[in-house]
Amino acid sequence: MNTNPKADLPDITDVHLAWTRIRDQTTSTPVLLDPDLDEWAGCRLAVKCENLQRTGSFKFRGASNAILSLEEANAAEFSSDNKRAVATHSSGNHGAALALAARLNNRAAHVVMPQNSVPAKIDAVRRYGGTVHFCEDNHSAREAGLEELVDQGMIPIHPFDRREIIAGQGSCALELFADHPQIDVLVVPVGGGGLISGCALAAAAQGVTVIGVEPEGAAETVASLDRGQRVVDLAPDTIADGLRAVIGVRNFEMIRSLVENVVTVTDGELRAAQSVAWKLLRQVIEPSSATVIAAITRYPELFADKHVGMIISGGNVLLDDWIDAIREHE
Amino acid sequence: MNTNPKADLPDITDVHLAWTRIRDQTTSTPVLLDPDLDEWAGCRLAVKCENLQRTGSFKFRGASNAILSLEEANAAEFSSDNKRAVATHSSGNHGAALALAARLNNRAAHVVMPQNSVPAKIDAVRRYGGTVHFCEDNHSAREAGLEELVDQGMIPIHPFDRREIIAGQGSCALELFADHPQIDVLVVPVGGGGLISGCALAAAAQGVTVIGVEPEGAAETVASLDRGQRVVDLAPDTIADGLRAVIGVRNFEMIRSLVENVVTVTDGELRAAQSVAWKLLRQVIEPSSATVIAAITRYPELFADKHVGMIISGGNVLLDDWIDAIREHE
């Protein structure tokens, strides 16, 4: 990319514009409130169900904003890309989201995916009309795969380190705060950092504190914050397949300035949290989403007696693994 | 009961009063809209998720209205029952709902349940503080079990054939229409008839047509409508455990006058519909709830191109059975 990442950060206006732009194409996802859950949590929870977003995750917000921004630029004749294909790398959710957003706007989408991606996520990319290209499961293989597609003339839509993507993801926090203005803490999963950086813009405008949660086995954001610079060479080892990506450049800058704290949870805590989501919320959530519920159990002092907003990021599970987690905690 | 059932039917005012009475205690359940589901269905769907109601089914609305009506009568000194225990019979969902509604108002609840009830439903009654009394799985055994408890001095709260229960269940249709006034057909599962008769009052006030759906193996409402009188001697044989009850007296009267049509679906169609709910709505729904989705597939001509409201009545599944249904349709 030609732009200087630090000069290319979205602001709260971008998030509002994104929300307006994508509204007709995305689902205004439900927010669940439950007294039994509150009793369990020791705080007042408002649970934003992005697992019920189209394609099963929040990623459809950012992908829609990126694609619709391309179409707007074409319409305004700032540029005309002749409906060039878009390309990305993804562990699955962004890939499926980009495939659908592209299809709805008559574009082709190509997705570089790790070979060990959740099969249901690979199927989803294809079902929404995307073309899958497999790669090794590491940061440099993903980036190399994407570069190859860009060399063929495709437009890269990075899964998280991109202005329109971050702004689009932030729309889910705007939607949550619009109906629940009393929230004072927002807890968000951290992978590449697209969701949390967009949400942090919305939260800052609202005076809401943001806490991020990472799996212990992919805690490169915590390591990056500790070291004061991005750590990109940790090998991820976690069941939270959606959070194995390395924190982005823009995302790291934004988290440093806007996020109060990033905490970690174990894979065992994620499985227990999946069970809590099932028993108390009747939602099937993926391990990545379970981070935010696990954080409530592990760090109750951060949330006690507060109004806590919580983003459930996605529901695209491997059903066998999900059932195992539920059975383990029956 | 002393009252003449036909003189004791609720009207639309009762439904509005119920909605107001129970609002603080119940969940305003989300309504899901999904373009992919619409494409599958060939109509515009608004899916009211009562599976996300407290205790996992719409039954908590009627139970709350019944209990809160007792408390109001006490407060107004129309009567003082000294917080007498309440009793009912139930395949499970009404039992759990009554147990929680009673507990929230400091009453004991006793529930007569068929021995072959879904274990998770038996556990739920107990978890919410109710006492379970087992009986044979037929209409007369249920009624006899309840009478025995009433003879011990408890207040009977019939699961569906009672004014406050019907009015309470109807509140979910009011809630749906308030946000989705464009609905022109409402499709509702039929068991004892509490949900559909309450919803039909709300629908009539809105000019909405109501279609009921029964499993073929418990189609005593269709038989009753055909014969012009209640049929109470059919032995139920269906996986839709929530719909095995016999249509109530008040409920039959109301369905006769307010419901356009009651149609039937097979158990096989219910399992396929559970899979559709999972794939397109990401909801885990019980077989009883799947009736309304199955009806769309079986009777497309009733719904084509219309704005269809759909009540998903509950989500209390036996997880093994649910998984089997999903695997069967992968």
* Helices marked H in chain A: 12-22, 35-41, 59-75, 93-104, 119-127, 139-151, 163-179, 194-206, 220-227, 249-258, 267-281, 287-298, 319-328
Mark whether B112 and B240 lie in a shared domain. no
- Of A123, A156, A189, the residue that ends a domain is A156
Can you give the residue range of the structural domain that contains B286?
5-57+166-328
Is B228 in the A-facing interface, judged by CB distances under 8 Å? Answer: no
Domain boundary among A124, A156, A188: A156
Considering the domain architecture, whether residues A264 and A210 belong to the same structural domain is answered as yes
* Closest CB to A326 among B27, B31, B319: B319
Check whether residue A312 and residue A182 sit in a common domain. Answer: yes
Which residues lie below 8 Å from residue A269, measured CB to CB, with a gap of 6+? A290, A294, A297, A298
Q: Are residues B315 and B287 part of one domain?
A: yes
Whether residue B161 lies inside any domain: the answer is: no
Q: What ipTM score was computed for the predicted complex, to two decimals?
A: 0.91
In a domain, B94, yes or no: yes
Q: Which of B32, B35, B54 sits opposite A52 (nearest CB)?
A: B32
Among B30, B31, B323, whose Cβ lies nearest the Cβ of A323? B323
Backbone angles phi, psi at A138, to 5 degrees: -150, 165
| Other residues' Cβ atoms within 10 Å of the Cβ of residue A257 | 11
With beta carbons less than 8 A apart as the criterion, state whether A5 and A161 touch.
yes
- Cβ(B243)–Cβ(B194) below 8 Å: no
At B13, which CATH number? 3.40.50.1100
Residue B179 in domain: yes
Write down which residue in B134, B156, B178 finishes a domain. Answer: B156
For position A6, what pLDDT does the model report?
66
* Residues A306, A309, A313: CA angle, nearest 5 degrees: 150
Distance from C-alpha of A260 to C-alpha of B135, rounded to nearest angstrom? 57
**Do residue A278 and residue A137 come from a single domain?**
no
Q: How many domains does chain A have?
A: 2
Q: Are residues B104 and B13 in the same domain?
A: no
Q: Is A51 on the interface with B (CB under 8 A)?
A: yes
Q: Tens of pLDDT along chain B (330 residues)?
A: 445 766 689 999 999 999 999 999 999 999 999 998 999 999 999 999 999 999 999 999 999 999 999 999 888 877 778 789 999 999 889 999 999 999 999 999 999 999 988 888 899 999 999 999 999 988 889 899 999 999 999 999 999 999 999 999 999 999 999 999 999 999 999 999 999 999 999 999 999 999 999 999 999 999 999 999 999 888 899 999 889 888 999 999 999 999 999 999 999 999 999 999 999 999 999 999 999 999 999 999 999 999 999 999 999 998 999 999 999 998
Clarify whether residues A85 and A116 are in a common domain. Answer: yes
Taking only residues 301 to 320 of chain B, the set having a beta carbon closer than 8 angstroms to any beta carbon of chain A reads: 315, 319
Residues A104 and A249 both lie in one domain = no
Distance CA A110, CA A135 (A): 13
- Cα distances from B328 to residues B248, B274, B275, in angstroms, run 35, 11, 9
Whether B46 and chain A come into contact, CB under 8 Å, resolves to no
Query: What is this structure's pTM?
Result: 0.93
CA distance B35 to A283: 21
Whether A101 has its CB under 8 Å from any CB of chain B: the answer is no
Q: What is the DSSP letter of A247?
A: P
A224 and A83 in one domain?
no
Per residue of chain A (330 residues), give pLDDT as tens.
445 766 689 999 999 999 999 999 999 999 999 998 999 999 999 999 999 999 999 999 999 999 999 999 888 877 778 789 999 999 889 999 999 999 999 999 999 999 988 888 899 999 999 999 999 988 889 899 999 999 999 999 999 999 999 999 999 999 999 999 999 999 999 999 999 999 999 999 999 999 999 999 999 999 999 999 999 888 899 999 889 888 999 999 999 999 999 999 999 999 999 999 999 999 999 999 999 999 999 999 999 999 999 999 999 998 999 999 999 998
Question: B93-118 burial, b for 16+ CB within 10 Å, e for fewer?
Answer: bbbbbbbbbbebbebbbbbbbbeebb
**SS3 at position B117:** coil
My answer on whether A304 and A243 are in the same domain is yes
CA angle (B277 as vertex; B272, B279 as ends), nearest 5 = 90
Q: Return the percentage of chain B with pLDDT > 90, whole number.
A: 85
Is A27 in CB contact (< 8 Å) with chain B? yes
Q: Could you give the 3-state DSSP secondary structure of residue B212?
A: strand
DSSP structure string for B78-100: S---TT--EEEE-SSHHHHHHHH
Q: In this structure, are A174 and A305 located in the same domain?
A: yes
What are the CB-based long-range contacts (under 8 Å, 24+) for B141-148?
B141/B114, B142/B89, B142/B112, B142/B114, B142/B245, B143/B89, B145/B89, B145/B112, B146/B87, B146/B88, B146/B89, B146/B112
* φ/ψ (deg, to 5) at B234: -85, 135
Same domain, A21 and A170: yes
